[in-house]
Amino acid sequence: DSGVTQTPKHLITATGQRVTLRCSPRSGDLSVYWYQQSLDQGLQFLIQYYNGEERAKGNILERFSAQQFPDLHSELNLSSLELGDSALYFCASTTGQSSYNEQFFGPGTRLTVL
Amino acid sequence: AQSVSQHNHHVILSEAASLELGCNYSYGGTVNLFWYVQYPGQHLQLLLKYFSGDPLVKGIKGFEAEFIKSKFSFNLRKPSVQWSDTAEYFCAVIDTGGFKTIFGAGTRLFVKA
């Protein structure tokens, strides 16, 4: 158990819908990272937040957005869902704001878009 | 931007065989490299990392990796694999700037008992 929690574990929805994925970092960690893992693209970095502020952006679509709340949990919002958005979405947390520290990963949310 | 290549997507070995998984990165400057592992049904976890110093890095569970700057490589090795090493292995590099971690596509290792 890494100490990072993600809900829900599984999500099945239809094209065009909107979903929210939730991540709670390890106690004391201020940074949250979001990743998308799909069969054809591997593990792709989406976005990072540090202490409530966006720090780095990766290959995140405009239909996707994220935020980190004062209690440091983070939510990833995916809208106008397409079949290709089906993937595993992981979050990870670290103590500092850079990637030099080990990232602790959550168990992931498996999103299926039908 | 950095990129990471893992050449072997699937590897099948018998127990006690030696393992070497290839990883190449694109950037020629200062690099910070990781190997992460994802066991079936579990979360990704860190195996080992290289930031500086001795290019031969030892990690958990008997794994090691060698940083060879001239070859832009950071291959993962284990002298004798076990069935419990069946997992997916990811090489990763920190992008310039220090905020993004770029992961390779992963290598799925299956060890036959």
Task: List residues of B whose CB lies inside 8 A of any A CB.
Answer: 32, 36, 42-46, 49, 51, 90, 94-95, 97-106
Nearest Cα of chain A lies from the Cα of B8 at a distance, in angstroms, of: 13
B98/A102 Cβ within 8 A: no
pLDDT tens digit sequence for B3-42: 899 988 999 999 999 999 999 998 767 788 999 999 998 8
pLDDT tens digit sequence for A63-106: 999 999 999 999 999 999 999 999 999 999 998 877 778 899 99
B90/A103 Cβ within 8 A: no
Between the alpha carbon of residue B33 and those of residues B13, B49, B65, B68, B82, the distances in Å are 25, 6, 10, 11, 25
* pLDDT for residue A61: 94
pLDDT band at B97 (very low <50, low <70, confident <90, very high): confident
A45/B103 Cβ within 8 A: yes
Asked if residue B88 has pLDDT above 90, the reply is yes
* pLDDT for residue B1: 67
Mean pLDDT of B47-69: 94
Rg (CA), chain A: 13
* pLDDT for residue A21: 98
Mean pLDDT of A2-19: 96
* pLDDT for residue B92: 93
B43/A2 Cβ within 8 A: yes
Nearest Cα of chain A lies from the Cα of B32 at a distance, in angstroms, of: 8
The sheet with strand A64-68 has its strands ordered as A5-7, A19-24, A74-78, A64-68
Mean pLDDT score of chain A, rounded to an integer? 93
* pLDDT for residue A16: 97
A100/B32 Cβ within 8 A: yes
* pLDDT for residue B11: 97
Between the alpha carbon of residue B110 and those of residues B10, B15, B94, the distances in Å are 8, 10, 27
Looking at the partner chain, which of A98, A99, A106 has a beta carbon nearest the beta carbon of B43? A106
* Of B58, B59, B25, B46, nearest in space to A94 by CA: B46
Which three-class secondary structure state does DSSP give residue A53?
strand
Question: B19-36: string of b/e by CB count within 10 Å (b at 16+)?
Answer: bebebbbebeeebbbbbb
Q: What distance in Å separates the CA atoms of residue A28 and residue A33, rounded to the nearest whole number? A: 15
Sign of CA dihedral B3, B61, A93, A87: positive
Tokens of A70: 């004062």
